[in-house]
């Protein structure tokens, strides 16, 4: 589990960096101030630092402004959505609408994929049925139908993405290793094909949508989540195999040779040398594959009925026709959907950058 602990460690470091930022900044200010006083640092340099940093922050702020605007709408109630930089009467109502009433279940049921119910743990009657989140406290109705169904959509999305990741990882890791370290007839041609497909990938899925729809219809797979998950996994193969392969190319072959000399069988080389060394690449690929299942909208909206909708389809439904949409509800739903992914990206950025640097060797 070195991969997981490595990720946890780097997220921790990032968080510490953010928390300690004011302290470090203050230290730097003092240093600069003294430097200026003693004339060791030219004022021009300090001015340039200020100007360029402020400029960069301004640009970042401008680029992210639409998302911030969504946020201000989501926390302001009352149906009037003139832009205010800091809404005067912030409210959580819209977010509560997204989550809906939460109660302690009577039984905790653990379902296994495909096999259905695995365990059923009864919850003591004294706390069963109690509200964890009671909308009544906020003066909102307790009827579940009033709320967005976000959690049901998220369960569908999680189910789809689970299969996407399992199926895609199972074929991508050996594929990337084979492409990177072994030779066989047609290897270069296949790699070339994969590189071409990385660029045609998404559009290809939409271009063959008609055939896909009729095939799914014929096989009775319409409105089924499992085939959809496998489909996303299949679509993720070319790009991610290639990405992981370029990453593995950066691992010096001498590590493997050392392991061979020590008499390690080939599965141990993969398990103990290649996989730990390519953890940045694996993390990148994992994120990309997961997102493929979690975020696709086009195929899902065509294949699924409302009871099986995934999050993107649910979100699209709430966006409605612009004239009659509830801006507050829509914004809160959209942010609840996108914010976790934004955070993952923020913390995975260094992995993604090194994974995308095409053969760069890091980590």
Partner 1 sequence: MSTVSDAAQRFKESSIGSVLEENSSAALVLPGLLLWSMFMLLPMVYIFILSLTNAQPANLFVGDNRLLGLVPLGEADFIGLENYIELLFSIQAANDIQSGAYGAVFDLFLSDPVAVFNYSFWNSFLVTWAFVIVSVTGKVLLGIAIAMIMTGNRVRGKRYLRGVIIMPMGVPVIFSILVWRAVFSGAQFGLMNQLLLNIGVIDQAINWFYDDRWLAFSTYVVTEMWLAYPFMVLITVSALQNVNGDLLDAAEVDGAGFFSRMRHVILPSIRRPVMFGTILTSAASFQQFLIPFVFGTGAPNDQNQLLLLYAYVEAFSGNKSLYGKGAAISLTVLFFIGMFMWVAVKRGNLAEEAGEV
Residues 207-266 that bind partner 1 (CB under 8 A): 207-215, 217-218, 230-231, 233-235, 237-238, 241-242, 246, 249
From 22, 203, 220, 263, residue interacting with partner 1 (rule: CB under 8 A): 203
Position 133 contacts partner 1 (CB under 8 A): no
How far apart, in whole angstroms, are the C-alpha atoms of residue 319 and residue 127? 37
DSSP state of 106: S
Residues 17-56 that bind partner 1 (CB under 8 A): 17-18, 21, 45, 48-49, 51-53, 55-56
The least CB distance from residue 101 to partner 1, in Å, is: 25
From 91, 291, 326, 363, residue interacting with partner 1 (rule: CB under 8 A): 291
How many CB atoms within 10 Å of residue 92? 14
55-84 footprint of partner 1 as x/- string (CB under 8 A): xxx-xx--xx-xx-xx----------xxx-
Q: Which is nearer to partner 1, 84 or 106 (CB)?
A: 84
* Tokens of residue 356, six digits: 């995308």
Position 361 contacts partner 1 (CB under 8 A): no
From 8, 127, 130, 200, residue interacting with partner 1 (rule: CB under 8 A): 200
Kindly tell me the sign of the dihedral angle through the C-alpha atoms of 105, 107, 111, 117: negative
How far apart, in whole angstroms, are the C-alpha atoms of residue 62 and residue 56? 10
Could you tell me which residues come within 8 angstroms of residue 77 by beta carbon, excluding any fewer than 6 positions away? 89, 91, 93, 94, 328
Q: Which is nearer to partner 1, 133 or 219 (CB)?
A: 219
Among the listed ranges 85-93, 101-109, 139-147, 335-343, the one in contact with partner 1 (CB under 8 A) is 335-343
Q: Three-state SS for 118?
A: strand
The least CB distance from residue 96 to partner 1, in Å, is: 20
> Do the beta carbons of residue 225 and residue 156 sit within 8 Å?
yes
Count residues binding partner 1 (CB under 8 A).
Answer: 108
Residues 157-186 that bind partner 1 (CB under 8 A): 167, 170-172, 174-175, 177-179, 182-186
Can you give the length of the chain in residues? 363
Position 297 contacts partner 1 (CB under 8 A): yes
Position 153 contacts partner 1 (CB under 8 A): no
Q: Which is nearer to partner 1, 38 or 189 (CB)?
A: 189
End-to-end CA distance of the chain: 16
Nearest to 271 by CA among 163, 201, 131, 177: 177
From 163, 283, 334, 351, residue interacting with partner 1 (rule: CB under 8 A): 334
Q: Three-state SS for 109?
A: strand
Share in percent of the chain as helix, strand, coil (round to 5): 70, 5, 25
How far apart, in whole angstroms, are the C-alpha atoms of residue 111 and residue 231? 22
Q: Which is nearer to partner 1, 101 or 231 (CB)?
A: 231
> Do the beta carbons of residue 70 and residue 58 sit within 8 Å?
no
Q: Which is nearer to partner 1, 133 or 204 (CB)?
A: 204
């Amino acid at each position: 589990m070195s991969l997981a602990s490595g990720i946890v460690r780097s997220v921790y470091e990032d968080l510490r960096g953010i928390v300690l930022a004011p302290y470090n900044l203050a230290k730097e200010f003092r240093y600069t101030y003294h430097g200026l006083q003693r004339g060791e640092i030219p004022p021009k340099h300090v001015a340039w630092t200020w100007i360029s940093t402020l400029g960069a922050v301004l640009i970042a702020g401008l680029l992210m402004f639409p998302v911030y605007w969504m946020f201000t709408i989501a926390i302001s109630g009352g149906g009037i959505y003139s832009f205010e930089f800091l809404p005067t009467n912030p409210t959580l109502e819209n977010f509560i609408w997204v989550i809906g009433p939460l109660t302690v279940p009577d039984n905790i049921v653990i379902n296994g994929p495909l096999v259905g119910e695995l365990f059923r743990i009864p919850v003591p009657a004294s706390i069963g049925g109690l509200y964890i989140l009671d909308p009544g406290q906020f003066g909102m109705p307790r009827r579940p139908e009033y709320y967005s169904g976000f959690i049901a959509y998220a369960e569908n999305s999680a189910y789809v993405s689970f299969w996407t990741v399992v199926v895609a990882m199972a074929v991508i890791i050996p594929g990337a290793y084979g492409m990177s370290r072994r030779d066989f007839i047609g290897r270069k041609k296949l790699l070339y094909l994969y590189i071409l497909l990385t660029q045609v990938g998404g559009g290809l899925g939409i271009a063959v949508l008609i055939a896909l729809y009729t095939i799914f219809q014929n096989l009775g797979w319409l409105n089924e989540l499992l085939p959809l998950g496998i489909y996303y996994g299949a679509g993720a193969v070319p790009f991610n195999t290639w990405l992981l392969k370029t990453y593995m190319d950066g691992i010096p072959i001498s590590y493997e040779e050392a392991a061979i000399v020590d008499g390690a069988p080939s599965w141990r080389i993969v398990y103990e040398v290649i996989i730990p060394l390519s953890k940045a690449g694996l993390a990148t690929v994992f994120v990309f594959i997961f997102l493929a299942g979690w975020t696709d909208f086009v195929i899902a909206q065509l294949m699924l009925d409302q009871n099986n909708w995934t999050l993107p389809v649910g979100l699209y439904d709430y966006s409605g026709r612009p004239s009659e949409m509830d801006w507050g509800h829509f914004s809160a739903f959209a942010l609840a959907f996108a914010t976790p992914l934004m955070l993952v990206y923020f913390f995975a950025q260094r992995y993604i950058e090194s994974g995308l640097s095409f053969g760069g060797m890091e980590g």
